[in-house]
Amino acid sequence: MNAEEIIKQYATGERNFAAVNLTEANLSGANLSKANLSRANLSVANLSGSNFSEANLSKAKLNVTKLSGANLSKANLSEAILNVANLTLADLSRTELRQASLVRAEMARADLSYANLSYANLSGADLKDAKLRNANLNHTNLSRADLKWAVFTAANLAQANLHGTDLSSADLSRADLSNTELRQANLSRANLSGANLSGANLRWADLSGADLSWADLSGARLSGANLTGVNLSNANLLGTILVHADLTRASLIGVDWTGADLSGATLTGAKLYGVLRFGVKTEGALCEWIDLSPNGDQSDIVALTAERAKTFFHEKPPTVHLTIDMKFDVDAHSALAATYCQIARHYGVEAVAFNPPNIRVGQRRTTFTFEMQQDAALFLAALLAVLPFQDAAQTQENLFELVTMLESEALAQAIAQPALIPQIVGPLRSLQQRLRHEGLPPACRLLLKQSAFFDAPTVSKLVTSNNQTLTLFSHPHFGRHLTAESAAEATLAEFQPEHQAHPGPGFGELVNFMQSFPTAEMVVSKSPEVSRQASLS
């Protein structure tokens, strides 16, 4: 049966052409929509511009076939052989291509949106500028394929083989690349924002200039990868292997990299604002300076010597510990959550990044731990944290006595980094004025009155990133769980002059505390060499 006979029979309503032999046939522009051509031999045929939409071409042979501009939408090409076929600009949307062979196929600008290519072989294929939105490429072989500028938005590439593939400037945003083989792949300038790359193999891959913001790279392997200038802001790097990776000028703002291995990695010029610097392996890492500015604009450059870098990447976050001498209950939890929410909205935006605390509940007491991004934010966070509690007034009094000490010339001369003092004092004085006029919102006061938890004795402690502790306030009855009679006696005793004062830390304690803050080399760098590098970058 030749091409003319096929077309004539199709016109009469015949649709079954299974196993037909049409090698080298000319069917360009033909309409064979919904025809059954399963196991047909169409090798070296000219099918350019033809309509095979919803046709059954399962297990058909289409080697070196011309299908440029053809309509194959919703067609069944499962297990079909299309090696070296020309599918340029072809419509393969929603096409079934499971286990199909498309080795070195020409598919530039083809539309494969929502197509099923699972377990297909596209090694060496040309898919430049192709559209594969929401396509299923699970276990697909795309090794050495050309995928420049291709669009894989929300596509499933889980466990696919993309070894040595060129994905430069491709759009893989929100794509699933979990456990995918991407060894030596070119992903430079690719958009991988929100992509799932957990467990992926990216050894020696080129990711320079790529966007990996909010991507999941947990457990991924990136040894030797080129990540210069990459955007990894807010990415998940839990347990990620980055041994000898190049992260020069990479943005790691807000990244979570607990358990990551950066041994021998290059981190010079990396942006690390909001990153917890502990639980990370950095042995042998190269890092001359980093950027701690919130916007990554190099306004807060930190110079690092080789010795200082060892300790810098193992510092714990500065924390405020607020311990309440009572077990946390459901009513108190509800009231506190609502109150802290109001405090964060009302004061936190202008004052400090006031995030919800970690809560540890014991049998007789409760501890709230607030993690900060900078040591200088501890005082301000402590002031906000204690606001819902009865001890707030005395804690604030102690805190503002410390502010007076901070403003003294004697303290400025006693510490190594007096330039930090205005950063602490200015916001505290401003918040003090607001608290005097505004205090807690009325709705919060009503909530807090419903639980005795907020009247319990408290202890407020500040802990720097270098583990230096300062007790800001400790209630004299903290830990004394009194009987009714002794409680009455204690209440009367509080009115005696010797029990009315709850002294805060002294001058010497404050000096020791401030000395544990980042040293002079950790403040905004004045190093000419670093400034020169920053201007060049």
- pLDDT for 485 beyond 70: no
pLDDT band at 524 (very low <50, low <70, confident <90, very high): very low
- What is the model's pLDDT at position 352? 57
Q: Tens of pLDDT along 164-174?
A: 999 999 999 99
Query: For residues 124 and 101, what is the distance between their CA atoms, to the nearest angstrom?
Result: 11
* Count of CA atoms in the C-beta half-sphere (13 A) of 471: 12
- What is the model's pLDDT at position 273? 87
- Give the C-alpha distances (Å, rounded to integers) separating 30 from 3, 21, 67, 165, 428: 9, 16, 11, 35, 79
- What is the model's pLDDT at position 519? 52
- What is the model's pLDDT at position 53? 97
Rounded average pLDDT over 116-126:
98
Contact 110, 90 (CB under 8 A): yes
Residue 79 tokens, joined: 């297990």
In one-letter notation, the amino acid at residue 244 is H
- pLDDT for 349 beyond 70: no
| CATH code assigned to 172-315 | 2.160.20.80
**Position with higher pLDDT, 483 vs 408:** 408
Show me where the domains of the chain are located.
Answer: 172-315, 319-505
Q: Tens of pLDDT along 247-272?
A: 999 999 999 998 999 999 999 999 99
Question: Can you tell me which residue has the tokens 């060129």?
Answer: 166
- pLDDT for 479 beyond 70: yes
pLDDT band at 523 (very low <50, low <70, confident <90, very high): very low
- pLDDT for 345 beyond 90: no
User: How many helices (H) does the chain have, and how many strands (E)?
Assistant: 13, 7
Rounded average pLDDT over 378-400:
91
Query: For residues 393 and 266, what is the distance between their CA atoms, to the nearest angstrom?
Result: 48
- What is the model's pLDDT at position 427? 85
Rounded average pLDDT over 23-27:
95
Other C-beta atoms within 10 Å of 130: how many?
Answer: 29
- What is the model's pLDDT at position 351? 47
